[in-house]
Structure 1
Amino acid sequence: MERLEFRLLGFPEFRLNGRRVELALRKAAALLIYLAEAGGPVAREVAATLLWPETDEEAARARLRRTLHKIRVAFGTEVIAAAGASLSLHPALAVELDSKVFEHACNVGPLDEASDIYRGDYLGGFSLPDCPEFDEWVFFRREALRSRLVQALERTIEAKIAGGEPRSAVVHATRLAALDPLSESAHRHLIRAHLAAGDRAAAERQIESCVRLLRDELGVGPDPATLALVREPTQDVTLDVPRTRYVEVDGIHLAYQTVGSGPTDIGLVPGFISHVERIWEDSRCRAWISAISRMGRLILFDRRGMGLSDRVGVRPTVETTAQDILAVMNAAGSRRALLIGASEGGPGCVRFAIDHPDRLIGLVLWGSLAKGSRASDYPFALTAAQYDLWKQRLIAGWGGPAEIETFAPGLSGDRQAETWWAGLLRAASSPGAVAGLLEALRDTDVRSLLARVSAPTVVLHRSGDRAVRVEAGRLLAAGIPGARFIEVAGNDHWFWVGDQQPLLDSIGALARSS
C-alpha cells in the first residue's frame, strides 16, 4: 500500500512513499489538505466554492478539474478519488497527518511526544488571500492545535516537576513562555520549574522579565501570587494551588481539583469557559475559592472539551455534562454534594438532579437559564440569528478580552482583569472549538425537566445581568418546585465579581442543612 504523508505543522509538505512532492499551485495544496483533514467525502461544489469563491459555478468546477489534473501529475498517481459529486483521498492510500498524530498523542500520551511533533503552527506561512473561508478554516484549526500544545506543555511541566525531572520541566516551560510572552501563567510555570531545579537566580530573573513585559506591554503589575513564588508568602497573598487530577469517562480525560476538607462536598459546575488552573491567577477568584473552601470541600472541574480536559469532536449536551459531574464526584470520593451551577452549567445540574437525586444535597443556580435562545413562550433570550451574530463577535475577539464588557462590565477597562481573561480564553479553548460549545448552548432547552427536580434549590441572578437576563432566572426558579429566587443588585454575570455575599450565604445555608 502506498503511503501519503502530510506535514502540516509548519509550512506544508507532502511525501509519497518517502519522496517529497512539490506542489507549486497553492490551491492544489489547499485542496489536498482540506480533503485530508475532512477524513471523508467532500462535495465538489463545497471544494469549488471554498477555493474559488468569487467565480461562477461552471468556471469554478473547470478550475477544480484542472487542479485535480495538476495534483495527479505532481504525484504521478491518483491520490484523490472522484466519486460522482464528491471528492476524497484515495482509499488505497495509507494516509498520515502530523496534525492528527499530534492530537492523538495529546489524548493518549506520551505528552513529551506530542510537544515534539508540534514543530510549528498549523500551516504556518501558508494562506490564500482570495479565499477568506479557507483562511478562516485554517485559523480555527491553527488555534485549536495551538491550544492543545499549551495544554500538553502545562501538563508535561507539572508531571516533570512531580517526577523529579526539573531540568526537563525548564525546557518545556521555556517553550511555553515563548508561545505567549504576556501570559503570567506561563511565566509562573517557568519560575516554578527553575525553583524545582534549584536555580533561584534564574527564577528571580524570570520574575523580573515578567514584571517588565507586563509593565511595558500592558501597563499592569504582576499578580501578588507571582511575586510570592520567590519569597515567603503571606497568608493573604494566595492559596496553594491544588494538584490537578484526571478521571477518564467514555475515553475522555476530565481535569479536576479539590480544595478544603470540610464535611460537605461542594461541586462547581462552570459555564461555557473554564480552566481549573487559570482561575487561580485572578485574586477575586482565589478569594471566592478561599471563602467556599472554608464551608466544605470544593470540587472544581473542566467539562469535556474545555480547559485542561480532553478536547472532543462533538457538541456537549446536558446529558454528557451530568455524566461528567458524576465521574468527577466518583473520582473525588464524593457520595453526595451540593452543586453550584454557574450560567451554562445550570442545565447540566438540572439533568444531574433528575438522574441522580440520591447524590445531591441541593442546587444553587447562579446567572443560569433553562433555554439558550428565544421562543414564542421564552421571549427574554436572543433569537437564534442574534445568538449566532453574538457568537461571531465573541470569536472575532478571541485572544483578547472578548466580551468582558458583557460578562463583567464592572471590570471593563481594568487592564489586569482583561489580560487575565484574554489568557484564560486562549488556554481554555480555541475559536473553532468554542463555536460548537456555543451552538450546543443555543439549542439547550431543559424547561420540561424543571418540575422533576426534587432537591432544595436556590436561584440567584443579578438584576442587570447583560449575558443572561434576570427573567431567565425567575423562570428557572418558578419551574423548580419549592425553589427560592434571590435577585442580586448589579450587572456582572460572573459570580466572583461584585456583591458575592448573597451567593455565599445561600451556599453556606444549604451546606449547613446537610
Structure 2
Amino acid sequence: MTTTPTPPPPALLLRSLGQPDVLVNGRRVVWPARSAEELLWFLHAHPEGAHRHVLLDALWGLEDTPAAANRFRVALHRLRTTLGRPDAVTEHQGRYHLHPDVVAASDTAALHRALTASRASGNIQEREALLRQALASAGGEYLPHLTGDWVEAARSAHRAALVEANLTLSLLHCEARECPLAAQALLRAAETDPLIGEDQHQRLMACLATTRGKYAAIEHYRRYRAYLANELGDTPMPDTVAFAERLKHGEQPCAHAAFVPEGQPGTPPPPGR
C-alpha cells in the first residue's frame, strides 16, 4: 500500500514594519475579512498566546458570548485558510498561539533573533555585525495601519529594541574610536525615542561636538530642551545644562568615553579593536 506524501507547508513571509504585508509562496494574500488579519497580528505580537476572552476584548471590545465566540471561530478559520496552514494557529489549554514557524517568518522576529544573538556573543566584530543585521530588518513603523492599546504596546516594545540596538552599536563604535559612526547610531536612537535618557543625550552632545563642532552639539541640546518643554512640560537636568554651557565656551569632550560630570574623575577609554 502506497501513501501520498504530505506536501510541505507553504512558504510564508510576514512584513510587519513599514508597509505590512503577508506573502504565501511569494504571492501577496488578500484577506477575506479584516478580523482575520487583526487576529494574525495580535497573535504575532503575543507569541506567548492568549485566551479567547482576551482576544475578543482586545481586538473587538466584545465579551465572550456565544455570538462573539462564533465571530472568533470564523476569523480563526479564515486566518488558517488564508495562510494555507490548518496549524497556523494552535490551541493548548485554552490559549491560542501562532505556530512558531509563522512567528519566525516575520521581519520583527528577525530583528529580535539578531538582538538576542548579539547579547550572547562575546566577539565585538560579531556583535556589531549582528546589530547591523538587526537594524537592517527594522525599517518603518510597526503595523501603522492598525490601532488599539495592544498595538501601541507592541510598537513601544519594537522601538525599545531599536533603541537598544543603536545604543549598543554606538558604544561599540566608541570603543573602536569610530566617532562619526558612534554619533550616527546615537542620533538614530534619539530619533526613535527622544526619551533615551539624559546621559545618552549628553553622550550624543559630546560626539557631535567632537565630530561636527560645538554648534551641532548645541543645536541638538536646543532641540532636546524644546522637546522636553513642549511634550512634557519639563526641563533638562542641571548637569546637562552645565555641560551645554561648557560646550558653548569651547570645551572639547572626550569622544571615546561616556560623559563624566564636572568634578568626577573619568576613566581611560578601552583600547581599540
TM > 0.5 between the two?
yes
TM-score (norm 2): 0.67
The answer to whether structure 1 residue 210 and structure 2 residue 224 are counterparts is yes
Q: Where do residues 275-290 of structure 1 align in structure 2 (5 Å cutoff)?
A: none
Corresponding residue to 2:106 among 94, 97, 119: 97
- Give the equivalent residue in structure 2 for 1:108: 117
Q: Which runs of 5+ in 2 are unaligned?
A: 1-7, 119-129, 254-259
Judge conservation of contact 2:53–2:64 (CA < 8 Å) in 1: no
Q: How far is the alpha carbon of 1:224 from its aligned partner?
A: 3.1
Aligned 8 A contact 1:180 1:186 in 2: no
Q: Paired residue for 1:193?
A: 207
Contact 1:3 / 1:93 at 8 angstroms: preserved in 2? no
Alignment partner of 1:15 is 2:23: yes
Mark the CA change 1:125 to 1:187 in structure 2 (over 3 Å): closer, same or farther.
farther
61 and 236 in structure 1: CA distance in 2 versus 1, 3 angstrom threshold? closer
Judge conservation of contact 2:205–2:221 (CA < 8 Å) in 1. Answer: yes
Q: CA–CA distance in 1 between the matches of 2:91 and 2:190? A: 47
Q: Which whole-Å CA distance do the structure 2 matches of 1:238 and 1:219 have between them?
A: 26
What's the CA shift string for 1:171-202, capped at 9, x where partnerless? 22222222334654443233222234354442
Tell me by how many angstroms 1:82 deviates. Answer: 5.6
Q: Which amino acid aligns with 1:63?
A: R
Q: Which residue identity lines up with residue 136 of structure 2 in the other structure?
A: D
Shift of 1:29: 1.6
**Deviation at 1:63?**
0.9
Cα distance between partner residues in 2 of 1:205 and 1:170: 14
Decide whether the 8 Å contact of 1:35 with 1:88 is kept in 2. Answer: yes
User: Judging changes above 3 Å, is the alpha-carbon distance between structure 1 residues 221 and 38 closer, same or farther for their aligned structure 2 residues?
Assistant: closer
What per-residue deviation string (whole Å, max 9, x for no partner) do you get for residues 88-123 of structure 1? 445786842222222222222222222332223433
* 2:235 paired residue number: 220
Do the aligned residues in 2 keep the contact of 1:81 with 1:90 (CA within 8 Å)?
A: yes
| Alignment match, 1:239 | 264
- Residue 222 of structure 1: CA displacement? 5.3
> RMSD between aligned alpha carbons?
3.8
- Relative to structure 1, is the Cα distance of residues 82 and 22 closer, same or farther in structure 2, using a 3 angstrom cutoff? same
Code of the aligned partner of 1:111: L
Q: 1:18 to 1:200 in 2, by over 3 A?
A: farther
Q: Measure the CA separation in 1 of the matches of 2:159 and 2:268.
A: 24
Matched-pair contact (CA < 8 Å) for 2:16–2:108: yes
Give how far 1:58 is off.
1.2
Task: Check whether the contact 2:163–2:193 (CA below 8 A) recurs between aligned residues.
Answer: no
CA contact (8 A) 1:6 1:14 kept: yes
User: In the alignment, residue 120 of structure 1 is paired with which amino acid?
Assistant: G
Match of residue 192, structure 2, among 169, 172, 179: 179
Structure with larger RCO (C-alpha < 8 A, sep 6+): 2
1:157 aligns with 2:170: yes
Task: Specify the alignment match of 1:313 in structure 2.
Answer: none
Instruction: Give the deviation of 1:59 after TM superposition.
Output: 0.7
Q: Are residues 195 and 16 of structure 1, via their aligned partners in 2, closer, same or farther at CA, if it must alter by over 3 Å? A: same
Q: Distance in 2 between matches of 1:70 and 1:97?
A: 20
For 2:234 and 2:78, how far apart are their aligned partners in 1?
Answer: 53
The residue type equivalent to 1:105 in the other structure is A
More helix, by proportion: 2
Q: Could you list the runs of 5+ residues in structure 1 that have no partner in the other structure?
A: 128-134, 246-514
Give the residue type in structure 1 aligned to 2:117: V
Aligned in 2, Cα 1:239/1:124: closer, same or farther, shift over 3 Å? farther
1:412 corresponding residue in structure 2 = none
Give the alignment of 1:492-503 within 5 angstroms. none
SS in 1 for 2:105: strand
Q: Is the 8 A contact 2:56 2:64 kept in 1?
A: no
Work out the percentage of aligned pairs sharing the same amino acid: 26
Q: Please state whether the residue corresponding to 2:23 is helix, strand or coil.
A: strand
User: Could you tell me how far apart the structure 2 residues matched to 1:198 and 1:166 are?
Assistant: 10
Distance 1:50 1:177, change over 3 A: closer
Q: Aligned partners of 1:212, 1:70: CA distance in 2, in Å?
A: 48
Aligned-partner Cα distance in 2 for 1:196–1:81: 53
Q: Partner amino acid for 1:117?
A: S
Aligned partner letter, 1:239: Q
State the shift of 1:156 in Å.
1.2
The count of aligned residue pairs is 237
2:15 & 2:203 partners in 1: Cα distance?
30
- Is 1:123 equivalent to 2:137 in the alignment? no
